[in-house]
Structure 1
């Protein structure tokens, strides 16, 4: 945890915050901070700040806001779509989404997915905490929107998307060639990741009929979280 995450609603008089949970423990035992020391704080959807430790004891830490810091990371202005992954994979995707600050993450249950995944805590009560680990890691201050759609057809969703769609597929156009001709992606760009088993023939036909281009990150099979990390890194390199 490189940044302490504090929500705006936790601030008293927009200046002080009292921490009694794992953030207090982290400041005390991992960062080994003392009274009057400074810590970096990220406030979701507000920015990066420098806080000072006003009081620290065995049971709580009180932080005082000092100043606004320059933006540490420019969030990626993209949207991402996933065929409902296994919970352990979903946890890593949420962390990456929070770390890079994508605008939104859509989870849809395509025909090949196990609907039992929806019952996992990753997609219920733990979703926010996995995003928060990403913000705490990088200092990104944009909290992505997460949509977990259980009923609407994913193909209807893609057809109704108001923006450019890029479908990730090993046999698609080399992503580097797209980068050379398109230096900036629209705020409505949607990157679509399918099941690790690959798209079915009828899916590929659907993409062709709707002019959704296939893009490739390389000719090797990558696990979804590795492919997502590779895409985000390349997009981040362009933007920054």
Structure 2
């Protein structure tokens, strides 16, 4: 982790923080090889970033003296990512990559080619999703947690939720063989829709286009979902 993300419960007062969860302690010891006196990058969840001095580290906790926490997190991308629910292992990577790149709003969508069993995956438990979002924030030195919502019905999403999303955003449907190449260097707000493995079925593509989305492509290569999401976000913004 490139940043130690401090939850409100980690901060004992304005000048002292204490980390006790096993994952972060293990990372401090095994990856950072942290030693008392080290200066490390810390961030307050939902807030600012700064430096802190490691005062103590043992099997149970790490204690930090907080310095000036006066650096703002990196700016978010102006995008709402609508992602057809990937298989569980791919979901974990997609959430981490999208979060690291600055996505702050994610909707996981059902479609015809999404296996119904995916919706029963433990990876959709709130604590699991939270873990992957935190990993993405730590990677990118960010502190602002994305929101993740579930849309288990394609038709209700298109009829009830998509029109609201498109009121203030340009809708872009990433799908192979669309006529328009993915645009570059956008600054306007975007709703980016990415299908499952195998893509959206023709009926779904038609409905999304009818709702106001523009079809775009990344070229002739067929990419895995997490690769496509990363490539699209990098090219768009």
TM range (shorter): 0.7 to 0.9
Question: How far apart are residue 197 of structure 1 and its match?
Answer: 1.2
Q: Which residue of 2 aligns with 1:144?
A: 146
Are the aligned partners of 1:42 and 1:48 in contact in 2 as well (CA < 8 Å)? yes
1:219–1:71 distance in 2 versus 1, CA, 3 Å: farther
> TM-score scaled by structure 1?
0.87
For 1:10 and 1:142, how far apart are their aligned partners in 2?
16
Summarize deviations over 1:37-88 as a string: whole Å, max 9, x none: 1111122321222111122234321012101253463321211001111111
Find 2:157's aligned residue among 154, 157, 162. Answer: 154
For 2:200 and 2:28, how far apart are their aligned partners in 1?
46
Q: Which residue of 1 aligns with 2:12?
A: 12
Q: Number of matched residues?
A: 230
Are the aligned partners of 1:2 and 1:138 in contact in 2 as well (CA < 8 Å)? yes
Specify every segment of 5 or more residues in structure 1 that has no aligned partner in the other structure, as ranges.
none
Are the aligned partners of 2:92 and 2:123 in contact in 1 as well (CA < 8 Å)? yes
Are the aligned partners of 2:113 and 2:200 in contact in 1 as well (CA < 8 Å)? no
Question: How far apart are residue 110 of structure 1 and its match?
Answer: 1.6
Q: Which residue of 2 aligns with 1:218?
A: 219
SS at match of 2:66: strand
Aligned ranges 1:198-237 → 2 under 5 Å: 198-235=199-236
For 2:99 and 2:91, how far apart are their aligned partners in 1?
12
For 1:208 and 1:234, how far apart are their aligned partners in 2?
21
Question: How far apart are residue 19 of structure 1 and its match?
Answer: 1.7
Aligned ranges 1:65-104 → 2 under 5 Å: 65-68=66-69, 70-71=71-72, 73-104=74-105
Question: How far apart are residue 150 of structure 1 and its match?
Answer: 2.7
Q: Which residue of 1 aligns with 2:171?
A: 165
Find 1:133's aligned residue among 117, 132, 135. Answer: 135
